[in-house]
Amino acid sequence: MNSLISGIVGKLRKLARSSGGNRQQVVLIICHADDTAGNEVMDNICGGLAQAKIQFAVLDLKAGGSWPALDGFSAVVLSTEKISELGAAQTSLIVNYVEAGGGLLVAYRCWQPLLSGLFGFGVELDQPRFLSPGGHGLHFKEEVFTGARGLTIGDEHWGFEHCQIDILPNGLHDRCQVLITDGDGCPVAWQCDRMKGRVIYWNTTVLFCRALRGFLLQSLLSVMRAGVSAISGLGVIQIDDFPPSLSTASCEDAGAEFSNISRTEFYAGVWLPDMMELKGRCGLEFTCYTVMNYDDVDVSDLPSDAAPGHLSGTGHLTSRFSRIAHDAGGLEFGFHGYNHVPMTREGWPNLEVAESKLRLARKMWEKLLPHRMPVSYVPANNWYHAEHIRLIGSVFPEITTVCGLSSVGDPEMGEYREFAPEPWNSTILCLPRETFGYFLGPTERMMMLSQLGAMGCWTHFVHSDDVFDVPQPGQSSGYVRNPEKRPWRGEDSRGRKGMLAELHDWISTVQSLFPWLEFLTTSVAADRFRRHLQAPAQVWVSDGEVVIEGKSGGLYYVRVRDETELCMRGPGKIVDQRRVFGGTLYVVDCPAGRARFCFSPRRGLSGTRASEKASRGFHGLSC
């Protein structure tokens, strides 16, 4: 656990005087070194703040010592339940800070009798009762972020174990507005405005979950008078295992009209033309990830030209590409492996064999696609180990990006990666995927909105054979990619849309809610994201102005409270604005240098009415 307060506090007075008297946007996180669970939440917060280019300091209660003046911070975050140790003087500092206009985010449910009124509890308790840990889901009652209102996550979607303070909505102060409940209607998050300030209290212990980071960060922006975060504005859609292996199997699962063609004919003659039409209609870019040889699954011996798997795989690769050549113009191709055996110690225990077959894969690529070597890699099964990703970089030095998984999985298997240099090979950038498939269900909606809320980007992938991945007798539908046996085109017997139409609806919804999102190939997105990560930015806020300064241009969220609206004062422009609960979320485009925006009293909708208007982008969706 990093304690960053020392060395930073001394700078705050200087920062507060900079930029014409405006205060620099800095967040104070209060934690406790002995609170392991609370520090996991803090780690998630810090990861989001780093991506958003929001400066922060950390105050460790265990270390003791004097506190900095809270009015030097744009917001204060409580990320520990060990606040019972706070005395009257410290709690008074927090109360006075909020009442004077400050913002407080309680990111880990906690209790302090002297702060219970500030938190919004309307009942007097010496010690509250806690509900037993359990998965009770999430229901978003309000538009805490664009598109969130109405989203319901049940236990079947994600196993949240809240461990809440046992309180019903009528147990909160009447100035509180419940934002999120669990499946039983118990409050999980609420907003409580107090004089000039604002508190958002998360009555849960689950905010360590990266798939909730965006809602956590948006809560932080909401409690500020004007909260600013840098975003990338990038959309990436990838197609794994394409071109796929040759197959003469039936296409009946894709629809009755395809029952007389093979799957290979379906991929080349139906699926690809349909996807290319979708690409053009929606202004998308696709990057396809190719396995070089599906036939050679021998990972124990060095490759031999006479090996049947090697000979057939080489011939099949040429055939696979020739079948898609007519419609594949404009597609980017990346590397998905020599075969589909994961690059792990279990999959490739002999690194000499792994290197030999990777070099064989390189020769195959050079022969078939000599105009461009792959610059990005999607690991088979999204798994890899440290020595194997280093080996990939050695054999394919052109590969500078690895695309695994972002919010799920095991870090020791190469999953659960941040958008940052790969920990096992710092020359490679991780550009992990957040969602997959053709159906926008509750889980996908939550993860996508959270990624957009935190970073202003969306990374997604599909397979061409997803339509054929249907439940088999005795198999759970939760482990397949087409659980309802939907057709590719048209509708099923129950009138439900086919997979192509579902994907189109998903993308159209995203583009209507986030019109500033730019879809790019992986190579272009990775280059853009590197520049985004490396470009420093600073923000200053006063009572009537926001100043954003960066060495390169870019997009930013600016979230202001209900009573204010943003307008441009200098270079830069407002590209989008959405009413969210408690205020307005703007997207601004700033040039290199300094951009100024002012905010003034708002005329128009209240936060609640506006949130109802903003949520219509998901009208009619089952999630």
What number is the average pLDDT over the span 412-433? 98
Predicted local distance difference test score (pLDDT) of residue 595: 95
Q: Is residue 578 part of a domain?
A: yes
Query: pLDDT tens-digit profile of 364-385?
Result: 999 998 789 999 999 999 999 9
Domain carrying residue 191: 9-224
Predicted local distance difference test score (pLDDT) of residue 62: 95
Are 125 and 208 found together in one domain? yes
CATH of the domain at 351: 3.20.20
Are 86 and 194 found together in one domain? yes
- Using CA atoms, how far apart are residues 74 and 224, in angstroms rounded to an integer? 6
CB-based contacts of 15: which residues, under 8 Å, 6+ apart? Answer: 23, 24, 26, 72
Query: pLDDT tens-digit profile of 506-563?
Result: 999 999 999 999 999 999 999 999 999 999 999 999 888 999 999 999 999 999 999 8
What number is the average pLDDT over the span 549-578? 93
Query: pLDDT tens-digit profile of 301-326?
Result: 787 766 666 666 777 999 999 999 99
Strand ranges for 241-388 from DSSP E: 286-290, 332-335, 376-377
What number is the average pLDDT over the span 593-607? 77
Provide the Cα torsion 419, 422, 427, 430; round to 10°. -40
Are 340 and 392 found together in one domain? yes
Predicted local distance difference test score (pLDDT) of residue 399: 99
Output DSSP code: residue 85.
T
Predicted local distance difference test score (pLDDT) of residue 311: 62
Residue 411's Cβ-count burial label (10 Å; 0-12, 13-18, 19+) is: exposed
- Using CA atoms, how far apart are residues 52 and 533, in angstroms rounded to an integer? 9
Give me the half-sphere count of Cα atoms (radius 13 Å) on the Cβ side of residue 70. 22
Q: Is residue 2 part of a domain?
A: no
Predicted local distance difference test score (pLDDT) of residue 126: 67
Q: Is residue 27 part of a domain?
A: yes
Are 424 and 281 found together in one domain? yes
Cβ atoms of 188 and 134 closer than 8 Å: no
Are 243 and 131 found together in one domain? no
Q: Is residue 314 part of a domain?
A: no
Residue bearing the bigger pLDDT, 601 or 240: 240
What number is the average pLDDT over the span 236-254? 96
Predicted local distance difference test score (pLDDT) of residue 603: 67
Confidence of residue 160 (pLDDT cuts 50, 70, 90): confident
Look up the pTM and report it.
0.94
- Using CA atoms, how far apart are residues 492 and 486, in angstroms rounded to an integer? 6
Take residue 153 and report the two structure tokens written for it.
């996550």
Are 337 and 448 found together in one domain? yes
Cβ atoms of 120 and 173 closer than 8 Å: yes
Take residue 169 and report the two structure tokens written for it.
């909505």
Domain count, the chain: 3
- Using CA atoms, how far apart are residues 2 and 453, in angstroms rounded to an integer? 25
Predicted local distance difference test score (pLDDT) of residue 124: 62
Q: Is residue 217 part of a domain?
A: yes
Q: Is residue 193 part of a domain?
A: yes
Cβ atoms of 47 and 39 closer than 8 Å: no
Nearest alpha carbon to residue 45 among 90, 75, 86: 75
Query: pLDDT tens-digit profile of 81-106?
Result: 999 889 999 999 999 999 999 999 99
Are 424 and 560 found together in one domain? no
Last residue of a domain, one of 184, 204, 224: 224
What number is the average pLDDT over the span 594-619? 62
Are 153 and 57 found together in one domain? yes
Are 124 and 158 found together in one domain? yes
What number is the average pLDDT over the span 146-171? 90
Q: Is residue 318 part of a domain?
A: no
CB-based contacts of 167: which residues, under 8 Å, 6+ apart? Answer: 121, 123, 128, 186, 187, 203
What number is the average pLDDT over the span 15-31? 76
Predicted local distance difference test score (pLDDT) of residue 541: 94
Last residue of a domain, one of 168, 194, 224: 224
pLDDT higher than 70, residue 78: yes
- Mean pLDDT score across all residues of the chain: 91
Predicted local distance difference test score (pLDDT) of residue 618: 62
pLDDT higher than 70, residue 609: no
Take residue 164 and report the two structure tokens written for it.
């809440």
Give percent above pLDDT 70 in the chain.
91
Q: Which of 250-254, 437-441, 472-476, 483-487 has the lowest mean pLDDT?
A: 472-476
Predicted local distance difference test score (pLDDT) of residue 610: 38
Are 374 and 349 found together in one domain? yes
Query: pLDDT tens-digit profile of 121-133?
Result: 986 666 788 877 7
Cβ count near 218 (within 10 Å) = 27
β 234-240/286-290 pair status: parallel
Are 261 and 190 found together in one domain? no
CB-based contacts of 65: which residues, under 8 Å, 6+ apart? Answer: none
Give me the half-sphere count of Cα atoms (radius 13 Å) on the Cβ side of residue 480. 17
Provide the Cα torsion 163, 167, 169, 175; round to 10°. -100
- Residue in the structure block whose two tokens are 């379906």: 266
Q: What interhelical angle do 213-223 and 36-52 show, nearest 10?
A: 80
What number is the average pLDDT over the span 59-67? 94
pLDDT higher than 60, residue 604: no
Cβ count near 330 (within 10 Å) = 11
Last residue of a domain, one of 529, 557, 592: 529
Are 211 and 262 found together in one domain? no
CATH of the domain at 91: 3.40.50.880
Q: Is residue 3 part of a domain?
A: no
Strand ranges for 279-369 from DSSP E: 286-290, 332-335
Predicted local distance difference test score (pLDDT) of residue 79: 98
Predicted local distance difference test score (pLDDT) of residue 479: 80
pLDDT higher than 80, residue 15: no
Residue bearing the bigger pLDDT, 171 or 378: 378
